[in-house]
Amino acid sequence: MDIDIFAAYESNVRRYGRSYPTVFTKSLGATIWDETGKPYIDFFVGSGALNYGHNNPDIMVPAIQYLNDKNIVLSLDMYTAAKRDFIAVFVESILKPRGLSYKIQFPGPTGTTANEAALALARKYTGRSSVMAFTNAYHGMSLGSLAVSGSASTRQLGGVARHDVIRVPYENYPNQTFDSASYIDHVLGDPGSGIEKPAAIILEPIQAEGGMNTASAPWLSEIQRICRKHDVVFIVDDIQAGSGRTGDFFSFEFAKIEPDIVCLSKSLSGSGNPLSIVLIRPDMDIWNPGEHSGTFRGNNLAFVTSAAMCTMWSDRQFTTAVERTADKLQDHLDRLVAKFPKCIEQKRGRGLMAGLKCRSQAVVDRVHDVAFENGLLIESSGPNRDVIKVLPPITISDVELDHGIAILDHALREKTNGD
Ligand SMILES: Cc1ncc(COP(=O)(O)O)c(C=O)c1O
């Protein structure tokens, strides 16, 4: 297999190509194939960007039809029939059944652009400049998103100062006895705290890159209450945990909260086509026309696939199947935790957004390599890269799920035997 061209011409910055040193060609559902024809079960799914699997026919067939019929693809933020259909389906199938009411902004196509827009709007709305962000947060690689991210190696990038961020402890940080919500409440109300009132608090309900740390429903409601009490905009970055990943469409539904702003991207298109939206509490939509701009605001192919994906959430059979798959995955992981105590410290995450906190990065690295050799893609996360992310498509078949877990079991067993 020829991979020399990548080393010769592609920048050193490439990462996942090094992690999975083969050349991929085809993909369907939870399986991808390299050019030798070797299949791999995908428990990584584009880092949460393919929750509905690869080339899901229910999502891709309408897109193929759309292209075949010579429909418009790029339209900046002009009105198109595809955008109209997407908005209608998103409102009817996603927002209304959940009792949510938002205006929809289409920023550029990536997650980080959505976060930049959310932060800019919160600053404009409040007239304040600083933002509260959490330990181990990850919000993207553009400067504003980098500033609110936690990881030291990520934050060092950019080479310029990242001002106006107040770092606060996420739930259970640094340990389970510290009550971070009441700390935040206290410093915001105390004129002697030395902490100015921020424009916004931004958080991920599950910190994926930060190590699959999960916020509880009471903690999320408390943060919302604190935001309302102190008149601070509450932004939820649901870019990786949303769009179905936890088994609900939004990862915060279980907490019955209604954030002021919600950012979605990654799996939002359902197909791997780039698409982002910022959901804005209607009275906060104070943008002037064209004030926040960008070329790729509204990729019509992504609108078509996203509308097909959103429709699936109105189908009871679909949502029941996702819940069942989430339970099955959780059972599998409980079994692995009990079986490999020398490798695994604890299970993390919720629903199909799961992780295994391991005893060290060395364990994760070895398990990753053995899994890859045996046909399974997994990735690591966390500040010490000692958490295995387990993100199968939420539509994965039982056979593929069982097969992927069997390969993971084998890789963990090999690691235990090797110790
Ligand atoms: C929670 C979260 N926010 C933002 C981003 C950035 O998204 P993008 O890589 O599309 O800019 C990511 C990407 O992993 C993410 O996980």
The pLDDT score that the predictor gives to residue 419 is 56
How sure is the predictor about 219, in pLDDT bands with cuts at 50, 70 and 90?
very high
In the predicted model, what is the mean pLDDT of residues 139-148?
93
d(CA 202, CA 316) in angstroms, rounded, equals 32
The pLDDT score that the predictor gives to residue 156 is 76
The pLDDT score that the predictor gives to residue 163 is 82
From residue 247, give the alpha-carbon distance in Å to each of 132, 214, 223, 352.
28, 14, 23, 6
Q: Which of 210-214, 361-365, 414-418 has the lowest mean pLDDT?
A: 414-418
Q: Is the model's pLDDT at 304 over the cut of 60?
A: yes
d(CA 372, CA 20) in angstroms, rounded, equals 7
Mean pLDDT of the chain: 96
Locate tokens 């229910």: which residue?
Answer: 58
From residue 289, give the alpha-carbon distance in Å to each of 122, 257, 293, 296, 297.
17, 29, 9, 16, 14
Cβ–ligand 1 distance for 114 under 6 Å, the answer no
Enumerate domains of the chain plus CATH numbers. Answer: 4-56+317-418 (3.90.1150.10), 60-312 (3.40.640.10)
Cβ–ligand 1 distance for 111 under 6 Å, the answer yes
Cβ–ligand 1 distance for 265 under 6 Å, the answer yes
Cβ–ligand 1 distance for 244 under 6 Å, the answer no
State the pTM of this model: 0.97
| pLDDT per residue as tens digits for the range 257-286 | 999 999 999 999 999 999 999 999 999 999
Q: Which of 265, 273, 299, 353 to mutate to test the pocket of ligand 1 (most atoms within 8 A of CB)?
A: 265
Q: Which residue's CA lies nearest to atom 4 of ligand 1?
A: 139
Q: Is the model's pLDDT at 302 over the cut of 60?
A: yes
Please tell me whether the peptide bond between 174 and the residue prior to it is cis, using omega within 30 degrees of 0: yes
How sure is the predictor about 125, in pLDDT bands with cuts at 50, 70 and 90?
very high
Structure tokens at 230: 């102190």
Q: Is the model's pLDDT at 417 over the cut of 80?
A: no
Cβ–ligand 1 distance for 242 under 6 Å, the answer no
CA 273 – ligand 1 centroid, Å: 15
Among residues of the chain, what percentage have pLDDT more than 90?
95
The pLDDT score that the predictor gives to residue 418 is 56
